[in-house]
Chains A and B, each alone.
Chain A
Amino acid sequence: MSMTLGRRKGRPVRSKTANRARSKENRAAGLFLLPAFIGFAVFYLYPTGRGIWISLTDWNLLSDPKYVGADNYVEVATDPLFWNALKVTAYFVFITLGVQVGVALLLAAIMVRLTGSVVVRALLLVPWLVPNVTIGLIWLWMLDANLGFVNHLMGKAGSDTHGFFASPDEALLSVSAVNVWAGTGYVALLLYAGMLQIPGELYESASLDGAGEIRMFFTITLPLLRPILALVMVVSVIGSFQIFDTIAVTTKGGPVDATRVAYYYIYQEAFTHFRMGYAAAMALCLVVVLGGLTYLQMRLLRASTSDLA
C-alpha cells in the first residue's frame, strides 16, 4: 500500500538543483520533520518494541518484570475470557456497523434529495461532539429498568420492562444501539458528502427515463458511492473495535461477560489486576487480528477504487 503511494506520487523530479541546494533541502527537511519524528520515535516506535518485551514478562509494575517466555501467549490461547472478548467484539462491530451504515445511508440519501441545510446537518452531528462518557451516562439513565424514560414509553405501549444494560441478552445490543445513536449522524454526513460528488446529470437522465427514487438509489447512488462507503467502513470498523468508553460507564463488561469486549478486558487485566505482561500479550494478539482485518478491507477498498477510475 505504502509502496504504491510512494511510487506514484513521490518520485523526485531530478532537476538542475545544485548539490548545495540539495543538502540545504535535506537539512530543512530534517528540521521540519524533527518534532513529528520525536513524537513518532518516542511514542510509536519505541513502545512497539517495548510492548513486545512486556508481553514476555510477568509484571505488576510494582516489582521487577520477570521473563516468562511465551507463557502469556499460551494463557491467551487457552483463556476462555479472551476468546469470549473477541467474539463479543466481533458481534458488536458487526451489529454497530450494519445498523449504523444502513441508517446513515438512508439519512444521507434523504438529505441529498430533500435538504442540504447546514442546521439539519449540524444537529445530526451533535452526538458526535459529545464525549462517549457523557453519552453513556445519558443512556444509562434513559434506559434504566425502573426509572428510565424508555421503559416508561415502552410500558405505555404495553411492553414488559426491559433491563437493557442489566440483561445479558440485551446489554451488548444496548451498548451497540447507543454507539449507533452517537455515530450515525457523523457517518451520514460523510456519506452525504460522498453523494454530493455524484454528477447530478445521472439522476436527471434516469429521472427522465422514469426511474423512481428507490431505483435510482440502488442503480446510481450505491454503486458510485462504493469507494466512499468502503472508506467509511474501514474507519468505522477500526473505530468500533476500540469501543471502551461506553462500556466503562454503562456495563463494565457485565453482566456475566456479555459486554467484556477486547479493549475493556485488556484494560482490566492491565489496570485493575495490574497484569501488564498478560495484557500486552493480549494487545499484541488483537493487533494481529486487526491487522488481518485491515488487510482484507484494504483489498476490498482497492478493488473498489479501480471501479471508480
Chain B
Amino acid sequence: MSRSGIRRSLRSPAVRTSAVVASVVLVAAGCGSSGSSGGGGGGSVKLKYSLWDDNQLPQYKKCAEAFHAKNPKITVEVTQTAWAQYWQNLTTQVVSGTAPDVFTDSVLYFPQFQKNNQILDLTPYIQRDAVDLQQYQANLADVWTRDGKRYGLPKDWGTMGVAYNKEMAQRAQLTPQALDAWTWNPVDGGDFGRAVAAMTVDENGRTGLEPGFDKNKVKTYGLAIAYEGGAVGQDSWGSFAVSNGFQYVDKNPFGTKYNYTDPKLTQTLDWFAGLIKKGYMPAYDKQSTVGADGLLQSGKAAMTIAGSWMAKTYTADGKVAFAGMPTGPTGRKTPINGLSDAVYANGKHKEEAWQWVKFLASTECQDIVAAEAVVFPAITTSSAKAEAAQLAAGRDMRVFTQPVATPGQTFVLPVTDQGDRILDIVQSAVDRVWLGQSDAKSALGQANSDVNALLKK
C-alpha cells in the first residue's frame, strides 16, 4: 500500500517538490528503507481507533475489516465510547501517552489538541500520497487546518432540518410543501411560528392559535429543541440566528472575537424564550432526560430541530418526516458540520495510522459508510450513494442535501481555542434565557466579555 502510494506520488509532478519532505517523514516513520508496509520491524501492527457514535460503529468495523484485507499486517481495533465520556477519556489518554492511534475529532476539541501538539500535522503525508482534497464536500476539509497545516481529513457531514410528526402536521392543515417553503423571523415568527402554535394542543383539544388555549395544560408542544445547545446551538437556535444575520465570530476558523451580544442573536433567543412562555415549547425546568427525539416519539412534541445523522432514528416508526429549515430574513441557513479523523502525535505507528486515516477518507470506506445510510460521507460521490441508500430505505433526504447544493445556505460552525470552556460559559447564559431569569441581551453581555477575555489569553 505505502509503496504504491510512493510510486504514485512520485509520478505526479505536482508533489515532486514535496518528495524531500516525504522521504524525511518516511525515514522517521521507519518504513522507507525496509519497503514493507508494516512499521518498525516489519511485523504486524495493531492500531487503535476510537469513535463515539454507536450508530456508526458497525460501518467503521466493516471499514476496518476491508482495510485489514488490503493491509494484512495492520489490524484496526475500533472502540466506541459514549459522547458523555469520550473527550475526558481521550484527554486522559493523551495525557498519559496512551491515546488511540487514530480518533474521531470534533471542531469543538480540535484546537486544544492542535495547540498542545497532540495531533499530527498530516500535510506532508497528504502531499506525498497526493490525496485529492477536491473530492470532499466544500468547506469540510479546511476547518481542520491551522497556520497552513492540516490536522485531519474529513469523514462525514451533516446539516439540520425540522423533524415533524406527520399526523399532527396534517391535523394542523400543514402540507409538506407548505412546511418546506416556510419562513421565519424573530418578530412574529413567520410561517414557522404559526406552525408551532398550530401544532401545539392543550388537554382540551385547543390549539395554540385558538382563544382559550390553556398554556398550563399542554398535551402536545408544537416544538421541542435541545436546550443544551452549547456555544453554537447547532440543533436549536444556531440556524435561526444565522438566518437572521448573526455571525458567531469575526473570522472562521480561529476567530479572535465572538459576537454574542449581536441583537440578531439576542432577538432570536428571546423569540424562543417567548415560545416557552406561551406554552408552545416545554419549559426548560420541566425538560425530560429523554431529549427531543424521545418527546417526538412519545407524542409530547410535534416538531424538533434535528440533524441529518439522526434521520434513521427519527423515522424508524414511520410517524416522522423532515422539512427544511425555515427561510429567515437573510435566507435559509443550516450549519454544515463534519467530523474528521486525527492521528495521535505520540503514537507508535504513525505511518500505519496515516494509512488508516487515508483509507477512512477514501471512497472505499466512505462507500461502506454510505451503504449504512446513517451519515453523509465527506466525499461527494459517496455522499450521493448515501442519499440513494437513504431513499431506498424510505427516507427522502433532500431537505438535508438541497441547502448544500444551493450557494449561501450552509455555514460552518465556529472553531476557536478554549472551545470547551466557552461552551460552559455560553450554555450557562443561554440557560438563564430559557428559564426566563433574564433577557438574552443582559444574560449574554457578561458571557460575551468572559468568552472574549478567554480568547485573549
Contact = CB atoms under 8 A, between A and B. Distances in A.
Q: Do chains A and B touch in the complex (CB under 8 A)?
A: yes
B210 interface: no
A161 interface: yes
A166 B287 contact: yes
A91 interface: no
Given A61-B95, A163-B285, A272-B420, A144 B116 contact: no
A144 B95 contact: no
A257 interface: yes
Given A62-B118, A256-B437, A144 B289 contact: yes
Contacts of B289: 140-141, 144, 165
Contacts of A254: 431
A146 interface: yes
Of the four ranges (under 10, 10 to 19, 20 to 34, 35 or more), the interface on chain A belongs to: 20 to 34
Of the four ranges (under 10, 10 to 19, 20 to 34, 35 or more), the interface on chain B belongs to: 20 to 34
A147 B284 contact: no
Nearest 7 CB-CB pairs, A to B?
A167-B285, A146-B288, A163-B286, A62-B116, A163-B285, A145-B286, A61-B95
Interface string A146-184: 111000000000001111011111100000000000000
Given A62-B116, A256-B432, A256-B437, A147 B95 contact: no
Given A62-B95, A62-B116, A255-B431, A271 B286 contact: no
Interface string A59-97: 011110000000000000000000000000000000000
A169 B285 contact: yes
Contacts of B287: 145, 163, 166
Nearest to A165: B289
User: For the complex, would chain A's binding face be called helix, strand, loop or mixed by DSSP majority?
Assistant: loop
10 contacts: A144-B288, A145-B282, A145-B286, A146-B282, A160-B216, A163-B285, A166-B284, A254-B431, A257-B428, A272-B87
Nearest to A169: B285
A217 interface: no
A166 B291 CA distance: 12
Contacts of B435: 168, 255-256
B94 A62 contact: yes
Interface in B422-456: 424, 428, 431-432, 435, 437
Nearest to B428: A256
Contacts of B128: none
Contacts of A162: 286
Nearest to A273: B421
A280 to B, nearest CB: 15
B288 A255 contact: no
Contact of B92 (A141, A255, A271, A273): A271
Contacts of A274: 91, 95
Q: Give the most central of B116, B117, B285: most A CB within 10 Å.
A: B285
A161 to B, nearest CB: 5
A255 B88 contact: no
Interface of A: 60-63, 140-141, 144-148, 160-163, 165-170, 254-257, 268, 271-274
Contacts of B421: 273
A227 to B, nearest CB: 43
Interface string B234-271: 00000000000000000000000000000000000000
Contact of A147 (B92, B116, B117, B288): B288
B228 to A, nearest CB: 9
A166 B227 CA distance: 11
Given A62-B95, A271-B92, A146 B285 contact: no
A255 B283 CA distance: 13
A4 to B, nearest CB: 43
B298 interface: yes
Contacts of B300: 146
B288 A271 contact: no
B290 interface: yes
Contacts of A273: 420-421
Given A170-B285, A256-B435, 13 more contacts: A62-B95, A144-B289, A146-B290, A147-B290, A162-B286, A163-B284, A163-B286, A167-B286, A254-B431, A256-B431, A256-B437, A268-B424, A271-B91
Contacts of B91: 271, 274
Contacts of A168: 285, 435
A160 B217 CA distance: 9
B269 to A, nearest CB: 15
A253 B290 CA distance: 18
Nearest to B217: A160
B295 interface: yes
Contacts of B216: 160
B186 to A, nearest CB: 23
A147 B298 contact: yes
Contacts of B285: 163, 166-170, 255
Nearest to A160: B216
A73 B283 CA distance: 39
Interface in B202-244: 216
A146 B428 contact: no
Nearest to A256: B431
A62 to B, nearest CB: 4
B286 A166 contact: yes
A92 B336 CA distance: 43
Contact of B298 (A61, A146, A167, A257): A146
